[in-house]
A and B are shown apart, each in its own frame.
Chain A
Amino acid sequence: MPRVTLFVTCIVDQLFPKVGLAMADVLERLGYQIDFPEAQTCCGQPAFNSGFWDEARGVARHFLDVFEGDSPIVVPSGSCTSMCGHHFSDLFQNDPAQLARVKALEARVYEFSRFLTDVAHAGDLGAHFPHTVTYHDSCHALRELGVKAGPRKLLSHVRGLTLKEMDVAEECCGFGGTFSVKFPDVSGGMAQTKIDSILRTGASHIVSVDSSASCNSRASSPARDSRSKPSTSPKSSPAANPP
């Protein structure tokens, strides 16, 4: 049985544990044996994005230790995938020994939907979700990883699901981690643009590969009501409807 290692991210671990469990269900259904190294914490992105690179390096070194090995590492987040798959190399650009470890790691890290489409070649998983949904392209997944067609292809296999695209699908939701803390008004304005576009689709659910980005849309939605309730992962749908 092929093995995969889960990096669930601190956000899914603490705020959206069901996303992690759903991801595990899907992977098991596809025949993978799952390892979850319990020493995992965070990828260090908040410190890195805030300019605290020494602090981020410490967290990154811990990550490298925890994820030593050779099985694919699957991550339910485009943003965290891009941190360990792209930006660890920025942190260690002057440290050849660590950089070699980072390069080995980069080849193993997959955003979850990419793993499903490119490695597991997942098609119809028996999922059923009789709703109209819209897909939110989170920025790091879209631009740093090039994840765009994959999630849409996966959704096309979900029975009963109608995908309604936004008119500004590729525009940022305004989250940006600490950006939303330092510039709450600007971030809120950006979220509003996105939310207006979401509401225009008439979709009952938002699908995204990043739980953090959906925080901002959910949080800033006008009534903070169920109309724009995000389902945080396209993969949560199969698990929600087991055979």
Chain B
Amino acid sequence: MNPIPVEAIQTALGDKRLQTAIYSSTGRLMDKRAHAIDPAEIDDFQGLRAQANAIKKHAIDNLDYYLEQLEQNVIARGGKVVWCRDANEAITFVATLAKEKGVKRIVKSKSMTTEEIDLNEHIEHTGIDVVETDLGEYILQLAHEKPYHIVAPALHLTRYEVADIFTDNLHVAREEEPEKQTQIARRVLREKFLTAELGITGANFLIADSGAIVLVENEGNARLSSSAPRIQIAIAGLEKVIPRAQDLATFLKVLGRSATGQPLTVYTSFLSGPRRQGEIDGPEEFYLVLIDNGRTRLLADEHKRQSLYCIRCGACLNHCPVYRKIGGHNYPWVYSGPIGAIISPQFHGVTKDPWLPFASSLCGACAEVCPVKIDIPKVLLELRSDITTAKRAEGAGKWERLAFRVFSYVMQRPKLYEMGAAMASAVFPGSHGKWLSSLPTFMSLPTTKNWLSKRDLPPPAERSFRSLWRERQRAKGAN
């Protein structure tokens, strides 16, 4: 059971530069989304969300059927489908294939699934050059950092920091203008694209009825990664499958708008197997790697299964007041923000980071913006219940459990409740200020002190409502 990373969180909170970077970047994304979903821009965005939710629900409820259909159609187009139970199987497949085919360089486009399985680190160990080609991911690869955000991985870095990273790692003249920095990356990466033998992408959607893999991006690097090298691998989680090509219309309308406020991203690519006779481009070999890595465990839970609907737009991160304070690196896994808080415990077991689902004020901003309508607060609440149950089984969290048992006992006994409350207000009458810190509190004492370092709880009123009410009714009766 990992504890709350209190110090790291405090460091993030105290870093003014970082706070400004997070707040302004996410704020910009929020504004853009708000504009893009305005009724003047699109009809019935809420209806599209409901439709996206219904399609995902149907696809996930019938996942076995659609995955088999997908496999048949990918094979029919000349591709191969590789089923991987976990990260290790996926990594082994990529490493073995690369070795077999004499690959020396791999170009990669941005993919959270490959981050999830730590693909780069493992492949680099085999001596192969793996290059991230999304600008943000490329910056992070040079800086040896993990993505800070699902959609905008280098959201926490300023252009001055990017300038430092480029001069230190690429030995180029310092450039602080984002356009110039992009040109530097473009120059370096173009050569990598042309020399790589293997291209790896993720997948935004897998279309069952046509066997096509859909990639959504803004930089064109995913299109290049999937067309320049002679071997192509798309790595995707099982849950990315959607039934029909026509369903894509719904998802493309909500994805770009929710993620970056774009009606449509700049590039939408369809990968459908290797180059066929008569075609002028495309890879010679095409593999679709389908990863479970814990997803079928989520599938088993009827209430929390909706966590698999996620299309990785990042809107819940942008709108989350907790993410906007603690930032992306204080979440225990590559999936940060509200979606990370609901999927990490389900992938890793609820007792690994038992604090995570509690790191939410349950304000509901995430659910309000989720394009596929995942009820994130509800899943958080279910997880909290799972965690206390698991802790009970392990004999942990005894004091908190005792406190809530007492709470429950008292709240079912009005006389006891009134007596207890009267005692509290008799002991601390009008003690405006830090009265709570003198109570034998239901939380551990240091916790309470910490709470009070930021705020006071108003002291109990000298007389409760019920006592004043009785008097009021008596006075009325007397009149």
Chain A residues within an 8 Å CB radius of B388? 50-53
Chain A residues within an 8 Å CB radius of B362? 49, 139-140, 176-177, 179
The answer to whether B123 has its CB under 8 Å from any CB of chain A is no
Chain A residues within an 8 Å CB radius of B387? 51
Q: Are A50 and B404 in contact (CB under 8 A)?
A: yes
One of A15, A90, A189, A216 near B381 (C-beta < 8 A)? A90
Chain A residues within an 8 Å CB radius of B463? 17
The answer to whether B361 has its CB under 8 Å from any CB of chain A is yes
Q: Are A44 and B411 in contact (CB under 8 A)?
A: yes
Q: Which residue from chain B places its CB closest to the CB of A179 in the assembled complex?
A: B361
Docked CA distance A60–B289 (Å): 48
Q: Per-residue 0/1 for B3-39: is the Cβ within 8 Å of any A Cβ (1 yes, 0 no)?
A: 0101001100100000000000000000000000000
The answer to whether B468 has its CB under 8 Å from any CB of chain A is yes
Q: Are A187 and B404 in contact (CB under 8 A)?
A: no
Q: Are B464 and A14 in contact (CB under 8 A)?
A: yes
Q: Are A176 and B448 in contact (CB under 8 A)?
A: no
Q: Are B464 and A13 in contact (CB under 8 A)?
A: yes
A21-B469, A38-B414 known; A190 vs B365 contact (CB < 8 Å) = no
Docked CA distance A85–B355 (Å): 27
Q: Are A50 and B465 in contact (CB under 8 A)?
A: no
A47-B407, A182-B4 known; A36 vs B469 contact (CB < 8 Å) = yes
Q: Are B454 and A41 in contact (CB under 8 A)?
A: no
Binds B, one of A113-121, A123-131, A201-209, A218-226: A218-226
Q: Which residue from chain A places its CB closest to the CB of B387 in the assembled complex?
A: A51
Chain B residues within an 8 Å CB radius of A51? 358, 381, 383-389
Q: Which residue from chain A places its CB closest to the CB of B384 in the assembled complex?
A: A51
Given contacts A50-B388, A55-B408, A190-B322, 13 further A-B contacts (CB under 8 A): A14-B425, A15-B460, A38-B466, A44-B411, A58-B408, A176-B360, A183-B359, A185-B10, A186-B325, A186-B326, A218-B458, A219-B456, A220-B454
Q: Are A188 and B411 in contact (CB under 8 A)?
A: no
The answer to whether A46 has its CB under 8 Å from any CB of chain B is yes
Q: Are B363 and A139 in contact (CB under 8 A)?
A: yes
Which B385-416 residues sit within 8 Å CB-CB of chain A? Answer: 385-389, 400-401, 404-405, 407-412, 414
Docked CA distance A18–B388 (Å): 36
Q: Are A186 and B364 in contact (CB under 8 A)?
A: no
**Which of A20, A51, A188 has the most chain B CB atoms inside 10 A of its CB?**
A51
Q: Are B385 and A53 in contact (CB under 8 A)?
A: yes
Q: Are A58 and B412 in contact (CB under 8 A)?
A: yes
Docked CA distance A100–B408 (Å): 22
Q: Are B404 and A184 in contact (CB under 8 A)?
A: no
Chain B residues within an 8 Å CB radius of A182? 4, 355, 358-359, 447
Chain B residues within an 8 Å CB radius of A165? none
Chain A residues within an 8 Å CB radius of B464? 13-14, 17
Count contacts on A: residues with CB < 8 A to the other chain: 69
The answer to whether B220 has its CB under 8 Å from any CB of chain A is no
Docked CA distance A178–B10 (Å): 19
Q: Which residue from chain B places its CB closest to the CB of A216 in the assembled complex?
A: B455
Chain B residues within an 8 Å CB radius of A187? 361, 454
Binds B, one of A67-75, A150-158, A167-175, A235-243: A167-175
Chain A residues within an 8 Å CB radius of B417? 10, 41-42
The answer to whether A4 has its CB under 8 Å from any CB of chain B is no
- Please give the distance in Å from B386's CB to the nearest CB on chain A: 8
The answer to whether A48 has its CB under 8 Å from any CB of chain B is yes
- Please give the distance in Å from B399's CB to the nearest CB on chain A: 12
The answer to whether B367 has its CB under 8 Å from any CB of chain A is yes
The answer to whether B321 has its CB under 8 Å from any CB of chain A is yes
Q: Per-residue 0/1 for A1-31: is the Cβ within 8 Å of any B Cβ (1 yes, 0 no)?
A: 0000000101011111110110010000000
Docked CA distance A13–B466 (Å): 7
The answer to whether A59 has its CB under 8 Å from any CB of chain B is yes
Docked CA distance A172–B408 (Å): 28
One of B365, B367, B383, B401 near A52 (C-beta < 8 A)? B401
The answer to whether A40 has its CB under 8 Å from any CB of chain B is yes
Which B444-464 residues sit within 8 Å CB-CB of chain A? Answer: 447-448, 450-451, 453-461, 463-464
Docked CA distance A16–B463 (Å): 10
The answer to whether B91 has its CB under 8 Å from any CB of chain A is no
The answer to whether B297 has its CB under 8 Å from any CB of chain A is no
**14 pairs, A vs B, C-beta closer than 8 Å:** A17-B463, A20-B465, A21-B468, A24-B472, A47-B404, A51-B381, A52-B388, A53-B385, A59-B411, A61-B412, A182-B359, A184-B450, A184-B454, A219-B457
Chain B residues within an 8 Å CB radius of A50? 358, 384, 388, 400, 404
The answer to whether B172 has its CB under 8 Å from any CB of chain A is no
Q: Are A42 and B411 in contact (CB under 8 A)?
A: yes
Chain A residues within 8 Å of B, Cβ to Cβ: 8, 10, 12-18, 20-21, 24, 36, 38-42, 44, 46-56, 58-59, 61-62, 87, 90, 139-140, 142-144, 170-172, 174-191, 193, 215-216, 218-220, 224
Q: Which residue from chain B places its CB closest to the CB of A171 in the assembled complex?
A: B321
- Please give the distance in Å from A131's CB to the nearest CB on chain B: 21
- Please give the distance in Å from A219's CB to the nearest CB on chain B: 3
- Please give the distance in Å from A231's CB to the nearest CB on chain B: 14
Chain B residues within an 8 Å CB radius of A220? 454-455
Chain B residues within an 8 Å CB radius of A172? 321, 361, 363, 365
Q: Are B461 and A15 in contact (CB under 8 A)?
A: yes
A17-B465, A51-B388 known; A184 vs B453 contact (CB < 8 Å) = yes
The answer to whether B478 has its CB under 8 Å from any CB of chain A is no
- Please give the distance in Å from A3's CB to the nearest CB on chain B: 15
Docked CA distance A177–B196 (Å): 54
Chain B residues within an 8 Å CB radius of A41? 410-412, 414, 417
The answer to whether B40 has its CB under 8 Å from any CB of chain A is no
One of B4, B363, B404 near A55 (C-beta < 8 A)? B404
The answer to whether B1 has its CB under 8 Å from any CB of chain A is no
Query: Which 4 pairs across A and B sit closest by C-beta, in order of nearness?
Result: A176-B361, A219-B455, A51-B384, A188-B454
Q: Are A189 and B13 in contact (CB under 8 A)?
A: yes
Chain A residues within an 8 Å CB radius of B457? 15, 215, 219
Docked CA distance A22–B155 (Å): 48
One of A36, A55, A184, A186 near B405 (C-beta < 8 A)? A55
Which B314-352 residues sit within 8 Å CB-CB of chain A? Answer: 321-322, 325-326
Chain A residues within an 8 Å CB radius of B456? 219, 224
Docked CA distance A39–B405 (Å): 19
- Please give the distance in Å from A77's CB to the nearest CB on chain B: 13
Chain B residues within an 8 Å CB radius of A142? 364
- Please give the distance in Å from A156's CB to the nearest CB on chain B: 24
One of A15, A39, A40, A179 near B358 (C-beta < 8 A)? A179
The answer to whether B378 has its CB under 8 Å from any CB of chain A is yes
